[in-house]
Structure 1
Amino acid sequence: MSEARAVFESMLNRFDADEADDMEAVFQFDLDDADSYYLSITDGKCDMGEGEHDDPTVTLSMDLNTLKDVMSGELDGMAAFMQGKIRADGDIMLATKLTQIFPQ
């Protein structure tokens, strides 16, 4: 299993349906140094897909280490965004909820 896939599978395991309350969203992750993945949230469930989604709600671009650091809590997502380590396109406010929906 690729390192990137392992990160997304761990996010799936940490998915908090209560935090995603009634959310309908697709988080697209374009990784600079790994395959692209997306997480689709519908009806309190989260599914993972490989590649590009047709219509993502928000697209986040970064390298794999940045994603790992943000999801592990070592790096604040907003700080990473301000430093230019994360680029976001689409519903930026949704991106700010990522660590609430997938808590450590």
Structure 2
Amino acid sequence: MSDILTAAVAALNEKIDGGFAAGTAKFVIADEGSIIVDADGARASDDDADVTLTADVETFQGMIEGEVNPTAAFMQGKLTVDGDMGMAMQLGSALA
């Protein structure tokens, strides 16, 4: 696992302490890999998910650090969402 994925998993687990009960979400970080977030927390994985969010490293790090608003990133085309949009919005709120 890359250093970026390792750091991202740790940061996500801090943000969603106790897991994400709304379902299963996947973050695809371009050229790095995938992270699954579910009721068990975050882990590096490419499993199937209810919603998949795809972004480059800079956008993803900005969202985790609170510097990039996920909704704004989506509207600007920096974040793509495939699947349950409502779940994506819940995850965005959980990361804020």
TM-score in terms of structure 1 length: 0.77
Kept in 2, the 8 Å contact 1:12–1:102? The answer is: no
Residue 100 (structure 1) aligns with: 93
After TM superposition, what 4+ stretches of structure 1 lie above 6 angstroms from structure 2? none
Counterpart for residue 47 of structure 1: 41
8 Å contact from structure 1 (residues 4, 64) kept in 2 = no
What is the identity percentage for the equivalent residue pairs of Structure 1 and Structure 2? 27
Could you tell me whether the CA contact under 8 Å between 2:28 and 2:53 is conserved in 1? Answer: yes
What is the identity, as a one-letter code, of the residue corresponding to 2:37?
L
Per-residue deviation, residues 53-88 of structure 1 (Å, max 9, x unmatched): 13x011001112111101212111111001110000
How far did 1:51 drift?
2.6
Residue in 2 that maps onto 1:10 = 11
Aligned residue pairs total 95
Higher-helix-fraction structure:
2
1:66-81 matches, cutoff 5 A: 66-81=59-74
Q: Which protein has the larger Cα radius of gyration, Structure 1 or Structure 2?
A: 1
| Mapped partners of 1:26, 1:80: distance in 2 | 21
- Could you say what the CA RMSD is over the residues aligned between the two structures, in angstroms? 2.1
CA contact (8 A) 2:28 2:35 kept: yes
Give the distance between the partners of 1:39 and 1:16, measured in 2 at CA: 11
Given the two structures, how large is their TM-score scaled by the length of structure 2? 0.82
Q: Which runs of 5+ in 1 are unaligned?
A: none
Contact kept, 8 Å, 1:31 with 1:61, in 2: the verdict is: yes
Deviation at residue 16 of structure 1 after TM alignment? 4.6
Q: Which structure 2 segments of 5+ residues have no match?
A: none
